[in-house]
Amino acid sequence: MATEQSPRPARRAVEPAERGRAADRTREKILRAAVEEFGAKGYSGARTAGIAARAGVNQQLISYHFGGKQGLLDALRRDWAAAQETRTAPDASFAESFGAYLDVVGDRPDWSRLVLWQALGDDPGGSEEQAEALRTRLAGAVERVEGRQRDGEITEAVDPEFVMLLSYVLAFAPIALPQHVAGITGREPLGADYRAWVRDQLLALLAP
């Protein structure tokens, strides 16, 4: 005699909010993987297949969410700019601002390598609008240094443009020249000891 089978439980419908959260998680996984891939290989050397493999997702999802490799790079540019703009409070001191920038660069080495790749010309799709936005941000940073000099926080004996250039060089040196940083200073390039040392040395040079 045939036994009566229990009815299968009804499949639960996926709520729109849950689908949205899943999509957001997928986007974040892809962005994290893209940073790693671009940082290691540059834009030209990176492949969407490699990004998908790092993220553990179907390669087609990259096109679905970002439109392809260029869309990923544009999204990362926006995230990097936002990270820089929110790293310190508007009334932060020069020491706090420089220390925070050292952390942004050192804590996110893949992002920082991507910045260096772009600086070396591996920057397809870079528009004049984006270049102008960068010039505007840098000009604003120089103006803030000038204000700090007028307020007596740092010396006026050094051009504000040089202060900004030196700050960027010191922040990115552990990414661009890690062997030199380690060999010269005896410190781990991405370690907290290097950041504290280089911040204190720069402040000593710029003391009023």
Q: What percent of the chain has pLDDT over 90?
A: 57
Q: Given this model, what pLDDT does residue 133 score?
A: 80
The identity of residue 163, as a single letter, is V
Report the predicted TM-score, pTM, of the whole model to 2 decimal places.
Answer: 0.77
Angstrom CA distances, 76 to 34, 65, 88, stand at 8, 13, 20
Rounded CA separation 201/208 (Å): 14
**C-beta pairs of 17-24 under 8 Å, 24+ apart in sequence:** 23/65
112-124 pLDDT, tens per residue? 998 898 888 887 7
More confident residue, 89 or 186: 186
More confident residue, 101 or 125: 101
Q: Which residues contact 192 (CB under 8 A, 6 or more apart)?
A: none
Q: Is 68 left (phi over 0), alpha (psi -120 to 50) or beta?
A: left
The pLDDT of 149-167, averaged and rounded, is 96
